Amino acid sequence: MEGEVISAVGILWRSLLLGAIIVLVVITGFAYTTLYERKVLARLQHRVGPNRAGYIPIPRQGQPERRLLGGFMQPAADAVKLFFKEDITPSYVDSNIYTLAPMISVFTAVMSLAVIPWAGPINLFGLELPYVAIAPGLNIGVLFILAVTSLEVYGIVLAGWASNSKYAIMGGIRSTAQMISYELSMGLTLLVPVMIAGSLSLNDIVLAQGERGWFVFLQPLAAIVFFIGALAELQRAPFDLLEAEQELSSGYNVEYAGMRFAMFFMAEYMNMIIFSAIWVTLFWGGYRGPFIDQFPLLGVLYIFLKIAGALFLMIWVRASTPRLRYDQLMNFGWKVLLPLALVNMLVTAVFLVLAEGL
């Protein structure tokens, strides 16, 4: 009886410690994702990107000094700027919900971090972990992610509604419609790795990919549909209708200023990281890579590289594609993506049943 209590406390401590580390890492990661996006987007457009805030000067004779790592302090500069900006609350807003909305956004973003496996089994301060995640005991990771990412829309739609402004509410409503449409096809493709692995746990899906090869090779269509769905869910180009600058100036966050605005930004970029993490976990082998069985902590490096690759793909798509019109968005979601996801799931299910029968 006593032993159980101790282990329960131990599990709590472990989760808190791991949670603190992972959330801090992802928040730093968010800051550097903004820099990564600005830099990569700049290079895709023949620009240099931010390179003034923080660099390592290397003097050269007779020439201007060479500057390495230009811009690596840019996120800090941005954060300081946003912190010291005036926090404006317009007089016509519903102030409680107006305050709550950015918090919901960040909260849901952080919450989905709980189930993502970052590395293989390790021994952390005398506690055996089956794999590195904040909540390794949660064996319904995929379901949890579906639930939490659906909550994400509340932050946006409440922000739009509470702002009491036409652009904000248009942005909020657009995002709701878009998220409902694309979540369907995304959810259906999420089921494909679940069916193949036979488990809702993300770690089991990763392990199954260790046995059968990455699911992106088995299910390329599902991987692509999930990626497109994720782009729509994240409201990134070409699905960034809710913040269509030309039409809505900025969408749901138009009435926000200072750190509250930054919180929406934070939620957006953390969701980018999280969706990339889910995508690579489901389809690109997650934390698995060469020598992972000998050195489980290498998984952190592998998933980091894979997330960086997925983020690059998102930025690359943003640099290459124009924004869809609203009817095109709905047509594409309901008439192309959803049938594709459905057929893909059904065919996979039939194949799996046939394979079991053999």
Partner 1 sequence: MLDHITAIAQGMAVTLKHFFLPPVTYQYPEIKRPVRYRFKGRHELKRYDNGLEKCIGCALCAAACPADAIFVEASENSDDKRFSPGERYASTYEINMLRCIFCGFCEDACPTEAIVLEHNYELSFTDRAGAIYTKEMLIVPVPEKGQPTPQVVESGQFNRSIPDMEDPK
Give the footprint of partner 1 on this chain (CB under 8 A). Answer: 40, 42-48, 51, 64, 316-317, 319-321
Select 52 or 81, whichever has its Cβ closest to partner 1. Answer: 52
Longest dimension (CA), the chain: 76
> In whole angstroms, how close is the CB of 48 to partner 1 at the nearest point?
4
Report the alpha-carbon distance of residue 247 to residue 268 in Å, rounded.
20
Upper half-sphere CA count for residue 232 (Cβ side, 13 Å): 30
Select 193 or 238, whichever has its Cβ closest to partner 1. Answer: 238
Helix axis angle for 220-233 and 258-283, nearest 10°, is 170
The answer for residues whose C-beta is within 8 angstroms of residue 134's C-beta and 6 or more apart is 15, 18, 19, 22, 113, 114, 115
> In whole angstroms, how close is the CB of 107 to partner 1 at the nearest point?
35
Report the alpha-carbon distance of residue 36 to residue 195 in Å, rounded.
35
Select 99 or 320, whichever has its Cβ closest to partner 1. Answer: 320
Report the alpha-carbon distance of residue 241 to residue 329 in Å, rounded.
9
Determine the length of the chain.
Answer: 358
> In whole angstroms, how close is the CB of 113 to partner 1 at the nearest point?
30
Are the C-beta atoms of residues 149 and 276 closer than 8 Å to each other?
Answer: no
Chain center to CA of 254:
22
Cis peptide before 238 (omega within 30 of 0): yes
Select 300 or 317, whichever has its Cβ closest to partner 1. Answer: 317
- Residue 58 dihedral angles phi and psi, to the nearest 5°: -120, 110
Are the C-beta atoms of residues 180 and 333 closer than 8 Å to each other?
Answer: no
> In whole angstroms, how close is the CB of 317 to partner 1 at the nearest point?
7
What are 68's strand-pairing partners? 56
Select 64 or 137, whichever has its Cβ closest to partner 1. Answer: 64
* 51-54-56-62 Cα dihedral, nearest 10 degrees: 60
> In whole angstroms, how close is the CB of 336 to partner 1 at the nearest point?
8
> In whole angstroms, how close is the CB of 296 to partner 1 at the nearest point?
34
- Token pair 């050269």 is found at 60
> In whole angstroms, how close is the CB of 232 to partner 1 at the nearest point?
15
> In whole angstroms, how close is the CB of 78 to partner 1 at the nearest point?
20
Select 67 or 85, whichever has its Cβ closest to partner 1. Answer: 67
Select 151 or 319, whichever has its Cβ closest to partner 1. Answer: 319
Select 67 or 107, whichever has its Cβ closest to partner 1. Answer: 67
Report the alpha-carbon distance of residue 92 to residue 290 in Å, rounded.
57
